């Protein structure tokens, strides 16, 4: 029995793949199979390429040079060497290697794009990519090298080299040559035929793969962010008046309405809030009163990101594209264009990174409020013996430091462009830099939210009055990583463990199972 059996199977058809599909493939929870109808499209497009190779047409990417060398005609005898030269010369990445998960996501996205049927690659390319994913052969790919136009050339070239048996891969936990891994799996090195190399490397698959992972992490993180913010409302015995649905109906932004509704649902049966329903606190600080107005736009940014990435997952992004016309074959079937330009992905990556900075900025302010005895803290720094003990004072410092890094991540990467290939490629998107930056922003944001969760957990524990069903379920989940007792200690490991959970679904599944009416997942 091969190792990849008994997992969910994702069918790739170039049309219906979503971010969860890619995420599951990335993390080894799913294998892939190509839809039979998609293979028919692949073969039809390939017939166009084969006809061109056998004829006398000059067509970019099939029998010409690349980039600024587009005017150089390549003889029929050299078209296969042309493709091999292409992937070898373009496999020039730098820096640390991409994670296994990102490499798997990239392979999945590239395969789904190719089976859309407009790339003209040979069916053997499809088969080899499918086998690499399902046998868990993971090419070693340096992270730095893509400009986001023409697509992710350098990273995808390292992938293409592995498919032909060159370079190194990770297989069964060890780094070995791609050729050896292919032999162990009883496969054969791929032979690149006309256009195959270009079809493999000219596309936005690394960027899109990273963003598919980001989307699934953000779905979890933004839900936790609302739960943790609600915990802070309870921990400070704040009023829920600003969450009245009537208020948000007067300014009906979808994200704002969604977050206000979700906060109300999270705190629906909180004893703490009900005890303070008639309290004399008229207006809480903005970071407690305006959560829907800030978390809401962040949700809208995620919604836009999901829309954009889902479209890109099911798009043809290489150049040229093939549009088979069996009735009237000719040069019009091969079209040079610019679908490889990743500006749309860079924009949504930058927007999401900025949104996460704002989310984290408000979270850090709530931490400070919960620890300051002159504001909302029920005890100075939530220490039992303030003065002798520092309590959670430095948790806020750590959150502020992470926020400082997030400020750097909020700077748009798409604001920079450069000229390459002797001026032929004179504007690039920096989409890969932007999407990688988003993954780093998610990591820092999860740390800030974890700091807030840790502080709110301590405060609610001190209050002792039961919070809502949802919050109490969150606290029970946190108790698996938060140590008992409030004496001064290093809290780094506990906070890091919380942060690790905030981009996963395990705690949320438990929390949702305790609720009569599970929380809505998206706007």
Each residue of 287-313: pLDDT tens digit? 999 999 999 999 999 999 999 999 999
Alpha-carbon gap, residue 431 to 305, rounded angstroms? 13
Task: Walk along the chain (523 residues) and give the pLDDT tens digit of each residue.
Answer: 344 567 899 999 999 999 999 999 999 999 999 999 999 999 999 999 999 998 888 888 888 877 667 778 888 888 899 999 999 999 999 999 999 999 999 999 999 999 999 999 999 999 999 999 999 999 999 999 999 988 899 999 999 999 999 999 999 999 999 999 999 999 999 999 999 999 999 999 999 999 999 999 999 999 999 999 999 999 999 999 999 999 999 999 999 999 999 999 999 999 887 766 666 667 899 999 999 999 999 999 999 999 999 999 999 999 999 999 989 988 889 999 999 999 999 999 999 999 999 999 999 999 999 999 888 888 999 999 999 999 999 999 999 999 999 999 999 999 988 888 877 788 888 999 999 999 999 999 999 999 999 999 999 999 888 899 999 999 999 999 999 999 999 999 999 999 999 999 999 999 999 999 999 988 8
Alpha-carbon gap, residue 298 to 275, rounded angstroms? 31
Nearest-10 crossing angle of helices 19-26, 100-114: 130
Top CATH class of 8-203 equals mainly alpha
Q: Supply the DSSP symbol for 237.
A: T
Residues catalogued as catalytic: 60
Tell me what pLDDT residue 26 has: 99
Q: Where in the chain is the domain with CATH 1.20.200.10?
A: 211-316+334-417+428-513
Architecture of domain 211-316+334-417+428-513: Up-down Bundle (1.20)
Helices (H), 236-342: 245-249, 254-266, 271-275, 286-289, 291-313
- 381: tokens are 């720094």
Asked if the peptide bond before residue 320 counts as cis, ω within 30 degrees of 0, the response is yes
pTM equals 0.96
Q: Where in the chain is the domain with CATH 1.10.275.10?
A: 8-203
Asked if the peptide bond before residue 359 counts as cis, ω within 30 degrees of 0, the response is no
Alpha-carbon gap, residue 122 to 99, rounded angstroms? 28
Closest CA to 231 of 520, 471, 493: 471
Tell me what pLDDT residue 295 has: 99
Closest CA to 158 of 142, 147, 181, 174: 142
Alpha-carbon gap, residue 69 to 478, rounded angstroms? 59
Closest CA to 130 of 35, 18, 1, 215: 35
How many helices (H) and strands (E) would you count in the chain? 20, 9
């Amino acid at each position: 029995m091969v190792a990849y059996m008994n997992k969910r199977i994702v069918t790739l058809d170039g049309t219906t793949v979503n971010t969860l599909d890619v995420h599951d493939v990335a993390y080894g929870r799913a294998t892939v199979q190509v839809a039979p109808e998609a293979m028919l499209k692949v073969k039809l497009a390939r017939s166009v390429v084969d006809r061109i190779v056998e004829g006398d047409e000059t067509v970019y990417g099939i029998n010409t040079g690349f980039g600024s060398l587009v005017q150089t005609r390549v003889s029929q005898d050299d078209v296969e060497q042309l493709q091999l030269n292409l992937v070898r010369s373009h496999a020039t990445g730098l820096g640390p290697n991409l994670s296994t998960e990102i490499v798997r996501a990239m392979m999945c996205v590239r395969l789904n794009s190719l089976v859309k049927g407009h790339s003209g690659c040979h069916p053997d390319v499809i088969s080899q990519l499918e086998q690499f994913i399902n046998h868990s052969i993971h090419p070693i790919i340096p992270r730095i090298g893509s400009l986001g136009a023409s697509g992710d050339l350098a990273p995808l070239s390292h992938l293409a080299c592995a498919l032909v048996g060159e370079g190194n891969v990770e297989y069964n936990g060890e780094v070995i040559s791609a050729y050896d891994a292919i032999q162990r799996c009883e496969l054969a090195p791929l032979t690149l035929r006309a256009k195959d190399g270009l079809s493999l490397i000219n596309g936005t698959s690394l960027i899109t793969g990273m963003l598919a992972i980001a989307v699934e992490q953000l779905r979890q993180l933004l839900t936790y962010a609302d739960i943790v913010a609600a915990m802070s409302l309870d921990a400070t015995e704040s009023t829920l008046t600003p969450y009245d649905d009537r208020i948000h109906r007067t300014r009906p932004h979808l994200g704002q309405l969604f977050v206000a509704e979700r906060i109300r649902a999270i705190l629906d049966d909180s004893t703490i809030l009900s005890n303070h329903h008639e309290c004399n606190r008229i207006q809480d600080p903005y970071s407690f009163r305006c959560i829907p107005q800030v978390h809401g736009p962040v949700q809208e940014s995620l919604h836009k990101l999901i829309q954009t990435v889902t479209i890109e997952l099911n798009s043809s992004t290489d150049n040229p594209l093939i549009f088979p016309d069996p009735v009237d074959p000719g040069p019009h079937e091969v079209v040079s264009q610019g679908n490889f330009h990743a500006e749309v992905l860079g924009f949504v990556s930058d927007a999401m990174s900025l949104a996460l900075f704002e989310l984290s900025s408000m979270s850090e302010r709530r931490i400070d409020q919960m620890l300051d005895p002159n504001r909302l803290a029920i005890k100075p720094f939530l220490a039992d013996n303030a003065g002798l003990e520092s309590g959670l004072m430095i948790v806020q410092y750590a959150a502020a430091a992470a926020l400082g890094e997030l400020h750097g991540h909020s700077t748009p990467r798409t604001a920079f462009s450069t000229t390459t290939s002797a001026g032929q490629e004179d504007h690039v998107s920096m989409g890969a830099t932007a999407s990688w930056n988003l993954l780093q922003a998610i990591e820092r944001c999860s740390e800030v939210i974890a700091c807030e969760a840790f502080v709110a957990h301590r405060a609610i524990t001190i209050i002792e009055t039961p919070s809502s069903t949802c919050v109490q379920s969150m606290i029970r989940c946190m108790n698996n990583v938060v140590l008992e007792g409030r004496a001064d200690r290093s809290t780094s490991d506990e906070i890091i463990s919380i942060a690790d959970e905030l981009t996963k679904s395990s705690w949320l599944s438990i929390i949702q199972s305790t609720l009569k009416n599970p929380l809505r997942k998206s706007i």
